[in-house]
Protein backbone atom coordinates (compact mmCIF):
# COMPACT_ATOMS: atom_id res chain seq x y z
CA UNK A 1 0.00 0.00 0.00
CA UNK A 2 2.72 2.43 0.97
CA UNK A 3 4.86 1.70 -2.11
CA UNK A 4 1.91 2.12 -4.48
CA UNK A 5 1.13 5.48 -2.89
CA UNK A 6 4.76 6.51 -3.28
CA UNK A 7 4.77 5.37 -6.93
CA UNK A 8 1.59 7.30 -7.74
CA UNK A 9 3.02 10.38 -6.00
CA UNK A 10 6.25 10.00 -7.99
CA UNK A 11 4.33 9.51 -11.23
CA UNK A 12 2.23 12.59 -10.55
CA UNK A 13 5.33 14.65 -9.72
CA UNK A 14 7.01 13.45 -12.92
CA UNK A 15 3.94 14.35 -15.00
CA UNK A 16 3.66 17.83 -13.44
CA UNK A 17 7.41 18.40 -13.80
CA UNK A 18 7.30 17.31 -17.44
CA UNK A 19 4.37 19.62 -18.16
CA UNK A 20 6.16 22.56 -16.54
CA UNK A 21 9.34 21.78 -18.50
CA UNK A 22 7.44 21.63 -21.80
CA UNK A 23 5.63 24.92 -21.05
CA UNK A 24 8.90 26.64 -20.16
CA UNK A 25 10.58 25.26 -23.30
CA UNK A 26 7.75 26.39 -25.61
CA UNK A 27 6.93 29.72 -23.94
CA UNK A 28 9.88 31.70 -25.41
CA UNK A 29 8.39 31.04 -28.85
CA UNK A 30 5.48 33.21 -27.72
CA UNK A 31 7.65 36.20 -28.59
CA UNK A 32 6.78 35.37 -32.20
CA UNK A 33 3.08 34.51 -31.77
CA UNK A 34 2.15 37.91 -33.15
CA UNK A 35 3.47 36.84 -36.58
CA UNK A 36 1.09 33.88 -36.73
CA UNK A 37 -2.01 35.88 -35.87
CA UNK A 38 -4.04 37.43 -38.70
CA UNK A 39 -3.73 41.13 -39.58
CA UNK A 40 -7.39 41.89 -38.88
CA UNK A 41 -6.86 41.01 -35.21
CA UNK A 42 -4.39 43.88 -34.76
CA UNK A 43 -6.84 46.40 -36.22
CA UNK A 44 -9.35 46.11 -33.37
CA UNK A 45 -10.16 49.07 -31.15
CA UNK A 46 -8.21 47.55 -28.25
CA UNK A 47 -4.94 47.40 -30.16
CA UNK A 48 -5.59 50.73 -31.86
CA UNK A 49 -5.90 52.43 -28.48
CA UNK A 50 -2.89 50.55 -27.12
CA UNK A 51 -0.68 51.49 -30.02
CA UNK A 52 -1.19 55.26 -29.85
CA UNK A 53 2.56 55.81 -29.57
CA UNK A 54 3.46 53.28 -32.28
CA UNK A 55 2.96 53.44 -36.01
CA UNK A 56 2.06 49.79 -36.30
CA UNK A 57 -0.25 47.67 -34.14
CA UNK A 58 1.85 44.61 -34.86
CA UNK A 59 4.96 46.34 -33.55
CA UNK A 60 3.14 47.27 -30.36
CA UNK A 61 1.90 43.72 -29.88
CA UNK A 62 5.26 42.14 -30.46
CA UNK A 63 7.51 44.62 -28.77
CA UNK A 64 5.41 45.61 -25.80
CA UNK A 65 2.69 43.08 -25.11
CA UNK A 66 4.59 39.85 -25.71
CA UNK A 67 7.77 41.26 -24.19
CA UNK A 68 5.83 41.66 -20.92
CA UNK A 69 3.63 38.56 -20.90
CA UNK A 70 6.28 35.93 -21.67
CA UNK A 71 8.80 36.93 -18.98
CA UNK A 72 5.93 37.39 -16.51
CA UNK A 73 4.68 33.86 -17.13
CA UNK A 74 8.21 32.42 -16.90
CA UNK A 75 8.82 34.23 -13.62
CA UNK A 76 5.50 33.03 -12.19
CA UNK A 77 6.38 29.43 -13.11
CA UNK A 78 9.81 29.88 -11.54
CA UNK A 79 8.27 31.32 -8.38
CA UNK A 80 5.76 28.48 -8.05
CA UNK A 81 8.35 25.75 -8.63
CA UNK A 82 11.37 27.20 -6.80
CA UNK A 83 12.43 25.36 -3.66
CA UNK A 84 15.22 27.68 -2.56
CA UNK A 85 14.97 29.80 0.57
CA UNK A 86 15.29 33.02 -1.43
CA UNK A 87 12.31 32.43 -3.74
CA UNK A 88 10.43 35.45 -2.31
CA UNK A 89 12.83 37.72 -4.20
CA UNK A 90 11.30 36.50 -7.48
CA UNK A 91 8.18 38.46 -6.51
CA UNK A 92 10.06 41.71 -7.26
CA UNK A 93 10.49 41.18 -11.04
CA UNK A 94 7.01 39.59 -11.16
CA UNK A 95 5.51 42.75 -9.70
CA UNK A 96 7.58 44.89 -12.07
CA UNK A 97 6.35 43.06 -15.18
CA UNK A 98 2.79 42.92 -13.83
CA UNK A 99 2.77 46.66 -13.22
CA UNK A 100 4.21 47.33 -16.68
CA UNK A 101 1.50 45.13 -18.20
CA UNK A 102 -1.17 46.92 -16.20
CA UNK A 103 0.29 50.25 -17.28
CA UNK A 104 0.04 49.13 -20.89
CA UNK A 105 -3.74 48.70 -20.53
CA UNK A 106 -4.16 51.95 -18.58
CA UNK A 107 -5.46 54.16 -21.36
CA UNK A 108 -5.01 57.37 -19.38
CA UNK A 109 -1.24 56.88 -19.25
CA UNK A 110 0.77 58.31 -22.12
CA UNK A 111 4.11 56.82 -21.07
CA UNK A 112 5.04 53.17 -21.18
CA UNK A 113 7.45 51.63 -18.67
CA UNK A 114 7.98 54.72 -16.58
CA UNK A 115 7.65 55.15 -12.85
CA UNK A 116 6.94 51.54 -11.97
CA UNK A 117 9.97 51.31 -9.69
CA UNK A 118 8.33 53.74 -7.27
CA UNK A 119 5.13 51.72 -7.10
CA UNK A 120 6.83 48.40 -6.35
CA UNK A 121 8.79 49.71 -3.34
CA UNK A 122 6.29 48.13 -0.88
CA UNK A 123 6.62 44.82 -2.72
CA UNK A 124 10.41 45.06 -2.50
CA UNK A 125 10.30 45.79 1.23
CA UNK A 126 7.93 42.91 1.98
CA UNK A 127 9.79 40.51 -0.30
CA UNK A 128 13.18 41.33 1.18
CA UNK A 129 11.75 41.01 4.70
CA UNK A 130 10.38 37.54 3.93
CA UNK A 131 13.66 36.55 2.29
CA UNK A 132 15.70 37.76 5.26
CA UNK A 133 13.40 35.88 7.63
CA UNK A 134 13.88 32.70 5.58
CA UNK A 135 17.64 33.27 5.57
CA UNK A 136 17.69 33.60 9.35
CA UNK A 137 15.72 30.37 9.75
CA UNK A 138 18.02 28.49 7.38
CA UNK A 139 21.14 29.91 9.04
CA UNK A 140 19.83 28.96 12.49
CA UNK A 141 18.98 25.44 11.40
CA UNK A 142 22.41 24.93 9.79
CA UNK A 143 24.42 26.30 12.70
CA UNK A 144 22.12 25.09 15.49
CA UNK A 145 21.55 28.51 17.03
CA UNK A 146 18.48 28.89 19.20
CA UNK A 147 16.91 32.29 18.55
CA UNK A 148 14.83 32.14 21.73
CA UNK A 149 18.02 32.36 23.82
CA UNK A 150 19.10 35.49 21.97
CA UNK A 151 15.62 37.00 22.30
CA UNK A 152 15.61 36.31 26.06
CA UNK A 153 18.98 38.04 26.43
CA UNK A 154 17.69 41.05 24.53
CA UNK A 155 14.45 41.26 26.55
CA UNK A 156 15.93 41.10 30.04
CA UNK A 157 17.35 44.35 31.41
CA UNK A 158 21.08 44.71 31.34
CA UNK A 159 23.17 45.71 34.36
CA UNK A 160 25.01 48.34 32.38
CA UNK A 161 21.86 50.44 32.05
CA UNK A 162 21.28 50.55 35.78
CA UNK A 163 24.78 51.59 36.86
What's the pLDDT at 3? Answer: 60
Residue 151: CB atoms within 10 Å? 10
* Residue spans per domain, the chain: 2-161
Q: For residue range 12-48, what is the model confidence (pLDDT) as tens digits? A: 888 888 888 888 888 878 777 767 767 666 677 666 6
pLDDT in tens, 83-103: 888 888 899 899 988 888 887
Residue 123, burial from CB neighbour count under 10 angstroms (0-12, 13-18, 19+): middle
Confidence of residue 10 (pLDDT cuts 50, 70, 90): confident
**CA–CA distances in Å: residue 18 to residues 29, 72, 86, 103, 123:** 18, 20, 24, 34, 31
> Rounded distance, CA 58 to CA 39, Å?
8
Query: Which tens digit of pLDDT belongs to each residue from 57-81?
Result: 666 666 677 788 888 999 999 898 8
| Residues 48 and 24 sit within 8 Å (Cβ to Cβ) | no
What is the reported pLDDT for 87?
A: 85
Q: If we measure between CA atoms, which residue out of 128, 104, 12 comes closest to residue 49? A: 104
Amino acid sequence: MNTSRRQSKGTKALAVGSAVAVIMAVLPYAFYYYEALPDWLWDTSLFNSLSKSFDDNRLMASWILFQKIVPLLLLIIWFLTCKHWWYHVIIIPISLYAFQLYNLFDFSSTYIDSGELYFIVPVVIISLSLTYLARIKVFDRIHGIDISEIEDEIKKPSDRWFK
